[in-house]
Amino acid sequence: MRPNVFFDISHRPSHHGAKRWGQTLKDLHGVFAEIPSSYALALPDYPSKKFGRMRVFASTDDELMRLAYRLRDQPLKIGQMTTVPADFSGAWRCYSRYRIPTRAQERHANGVLRLRRIRQADDMQLPYFDIYSRSTQQNFRLYVQVLDGERPQGECLPDNYGLSVSSRLFALPEIL
């Protein structure tokens, strides 16, 4: 995947907040998992708004049109498709999952690693999504860490949430 085109997703005013954004990310996750590494996710309004727009990048217009079609029944506003300028020289941002260990992954019975990571994420005011996992039957909060990055030199390989992972870091253009 190369970040060549994108569109923005926003909610109607009555459908705002972490739970609604979590449902939207869950819907995107379903599509992203069907076609791995085809879509990348950015949060262009962060840090000014924790729950602003989502921006989805793809290599081609057809991939974005397919995604828009799959989201057609959701209470969303999908913006117009925009091409990333080939000579874009602005800022690039890396969006990756900020890992919080599960209770089962905590090394010690009275361990504090999980709580410390949650506090750090909250102190950094990281954007997050409240998600319900069908596979584990549990609710969890997916935090997103946003770091400065550089234009990718090759293919971007996002995970099934459209995010960069530590072994495959990539950045997306910050187009205002």
DSSP string, 44-97: TTTTT-TT--EEEEESSHHHHHHHHHHTTTSSEEE---EEPPTT--S-EEEEEE
CATH of the domain at 169: 3.30.70.2540
Q: What is the 8-class DSSP label of residue 174? A: -
Query: Of residues 6 and 111, which shows the higher confidence score?
Result: 6
| Residue 109, pLDDT score | 62
Provide the domain count of the chain: 1
User: What residues make up the domain containing 57?
Assistant: 5-173
Q: Report the candidate in 174, 170, 138 with the shortest Cα–Cα distance to residue 8.
A: 174
pLDDT in tens, 84-131: 999 999 999 999 999 887 766 666 666 688 888 889 999 999 999 988
Percent of the chain exceeding pLDDT 70 equals 90
CB-based burial, 13-23: b 16+ in 10 Å, e otherwise: eebeeeebbbb
- Mean pLDDT along residues 2-30: 84
* Stated pTM of the model: 0.91
| Measured torsion, CA atoms of residues 24, 25, 31, 33, in degrees rounded to the nearest 10 | -160
